[in-house]
C-alpha cells in the first residue's frame, strides 16, 4: 500500500494503462502543462505530444476527434477540464458515442473515457461548480463513475480505460488533494459498490465528495448509539442494486445523499427503485438529500447554503430513527 493523493492516484493509473496498452492516449486542453489540477503532470515528458495531446479550446472538436479515434481502434482519455464545459460536447458524446454500438448492430465500439471534474470548489461559482452526473445516467449506452477516494480513483480509472463502452468519469475537484492508501494492483470492477461501514439501524448511500459527509454523519450517529451502514455507490450506471437492496432489507431505513441538485437527481432513481423492491421491509419513508434548485453562488456563505452537510444527514437520520 502506498499513500498518495486522489490526483496522483489517477495519474498513476493512466500512466500504467498507457504503458500496458499503446492504444491508450489522452487529449484535451492544457495537458502539456500537466492539466488544470496537475493530474497529467510528468506524463507529457514521458509520452510526447502524440499520446498526451494538447487541443484547441473547442470541447466539441475534442470529443468528436476522440469518438472517431475510438471507432478507429484506439482508447482515448478525454479531458474536459470542468464538467460544465463538457456540455459543449454533449452532442458528440450523447448522440454519437453512446449510440454507436447500437446503431451499428454491435459491429463498432467507442471505448473512450471522458474525465469531467465536478462539484463545488473554492468559490468557483455557477459555471464551474455543477454536479451533472444524473444527466448521463439518463443516457442508454453510457457508463457513469464517481470515485470518492484515491484508491477508487486509481482502480476505477483503470477499469474505465479498459471498458469497451464510453465512460463518463466524474472526479470531484475538492478531492484532488485528498490523501489515502492505494494498492497498486488490479482494477476495481465497475458497477460494484463499497461498504464503508456496517450497521443494522439505517443505510446511508452516497457517492463522490458527499461520501465523506456521510461518514462524518455516521460517526456522530454511532456516538449517539445508532448502528449505521454506509455505502459508497462509486458507479452510478450500472449501480449495485442488489447490494443496496440487501442493506435496506436489513436496516429498514434509507437516506440517499448527493451534492447535485435534488430535483431530478440520481438519488430519486435510487429512492424509487428501493421503495418498489423493499416496501415490505421499510420502517420509514426513503429520504433523499441534495442541493436546492438554484445556481451555485460565488460568495462562500451563499455557497455553503446549498451544501449537503454531515449535520444535515445526521439530523435526517435521527428523525427517521426517532432518536
Please tell me the number of Cα atoms within 13 Å of 196 on its side-chain side. 24
pLDDT for position 246:
98
Quote the CA–CA distance of 212 and 313 in Å, as a whole number: 11
In 10 A of CB 106, how many CB atoms?
Answer: 8
Active site positions, annotated:
128
This prediction has a pTM of 0.95
HEC profile of the chain: CEEEEHHHHHHHHHHHHHHHCCCEEEEECCHHHCCCCCCCCCHHHHHHHHHEEECCCCHHHHHHHHHHHHHCCCEEEEECCCCCHHHHHHHHHHHHHCCHHHHCCCCCCCCCEEECCECCCCCCCCCCCCCCHHHHHCCCCCEEECCCCHHHHHHHHHHHHHCCCCEEECCEHHHCCCEEEECCCCCCCCCCCEEEECCCCEEEEECCCHHHHHHHHHHHHHHCCCCEEEEECCEEECCCHHHHHHHHHHHCCEEEEEEEECCCCHHHHHHHHHHHHCCCCCCCCCEEEEECCCCCCCCHHHHHCCCCCHHHHHHHHHHHHCC
Quote the CA–CA distance of 302 and 170 in Å, as a whole number: 24
pLDDT for position 183:
85
Residue 267 and residue 274 in contact, taking contact as beta carbons nearer than 8 Å: no
pLDDT for position 78:
97
Q: Which residues contact 136 (CB under 8 A, 6 or more apart)?
A: 142, 144, 168, 236, 237
Quote the CA–CA distance of 142 and 259 in Å, as a whole number: 21
pLDDT for position 6:
96
3-state SS assignment for residue 229: strand
pLDDT values of the chain reduced to their tens digit, one per residue, 323 residues: 899 999 999 999 999 999 999 999 999 999 999 988 889 999 999 999 999 999 999 999 999 999 999 999 999 999 999 999 999 999 999 999 999 999 999 999 999 999 999 999 888 898 998 999 999 999 999 999 999 999 999 999 999 999 999 999 999 999 999 999 998 778 999 999 999 999 999 999 999 999 999 999 999 999 999 999 999 999 999 999 999 999 999 999 999 999 999 999 999 999 999 999 999 999 999 999 999 999 999 999 999 999 999 999 999 999 999 97
Q: Is the CATH number 3.40.50.920 carried by domain 194-321?
A: yes
- On the question of a common fold for 2-182 and 194-321, the answer reads yes
Domain locations in the chain?
2-182, 194-321
Topology at the third CATH level for domain 2-182:
Rossmann fold (3.40.50)
Amino acid at each position: 500500500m502506498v499513500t498518495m493523493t486522489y490526483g496522483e492516484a489517477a495519474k498513476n493509473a493512466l500512466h500504467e494503462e498507457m504503458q500496458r496498452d499503446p492504444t491508450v492516449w489522452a487529449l484535451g486542453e492544457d495537458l502539456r502543462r500537466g492539466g488544470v489540477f496537475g493530474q497529467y503532470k510528468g506524463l507529457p515528458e514521458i509520452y510526447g505530444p502524440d499520446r498526451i495531446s494538447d487541443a484547441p479550446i473547442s470541447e466539441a472538436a475534442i470529443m468528436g476527434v476522440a469518438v472517431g479515434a475510438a471507432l478507429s481502434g484506439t482508447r482515448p482519455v478525454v479531458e474536459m477540464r470542468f464538467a460544465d464545459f463538457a456540455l459543449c460536447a454533449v452532442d458528440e458524446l450523447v448522440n454519437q458515442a453512446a449510440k454507436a454500438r447500437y446503431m451499428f448492430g454491435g459491429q463498432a465500439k467507442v471505448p473512450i473515457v471522458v474525465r469531467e471534474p465536478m462539484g463545488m470548489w473554492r468559490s468557483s461559482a455557477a459555471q464551474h461548480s455543477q454536479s451533472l452526473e444524473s444527466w448521463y445516467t439518463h443516457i442508454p449506452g453510457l457508463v457513469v463513475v464517481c470515485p470518492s477516494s484515491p484508491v477508487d480513483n486509481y482502480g476505477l480509472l483503470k477499469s474505465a480505460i479498459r471498458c469497451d463502452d464510453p465512460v463518463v468519469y466524474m472526479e470531484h475537484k475538492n478531492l484532488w488533494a485528498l490523501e489515502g492508501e492505494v494498492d497498486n494492483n488490479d482494477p476495481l470492477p465497475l458497477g460494484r459498490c463499497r461498504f464503508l461501514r456496517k450497521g443494522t439501524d439505517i443505510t446511508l448511500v452516497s457517492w463522490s465528495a458527499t461520501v465523506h459527509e456521510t461518514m462524518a454523519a455516521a460517526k456522530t450517529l454511532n456516538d449517539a448509539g445508532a448502528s449505521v451502514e454506509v455505502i459508497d455507490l462509486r458507479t452510478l450506471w450500472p449501480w449495485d442494486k442488489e447490494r443496496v437492496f440487501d442493506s435496506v432489507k436489513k436496516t429498514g431505513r434509507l437516506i440517499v445523499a448527493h451534492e447535485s441538485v435534488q430535483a431530478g437527481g440520481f438519488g430519486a432513481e435510487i429512492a424509487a427503485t428501493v421503495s418498489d423492491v423493499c416496501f415490505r421491509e421499510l420502517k420509514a419513508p426513503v429520504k433523499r438529500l441534495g442541493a436546492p434548485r438554484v445556481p451555485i453562488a460565488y460568495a462562500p456563505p451563499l455557497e455553503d447554503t446549498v451544501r449537503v452537510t454531515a449535520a444535515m444527514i445526521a439530523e435526517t437520520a435521527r428523525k427517521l430513527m426517532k432518536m
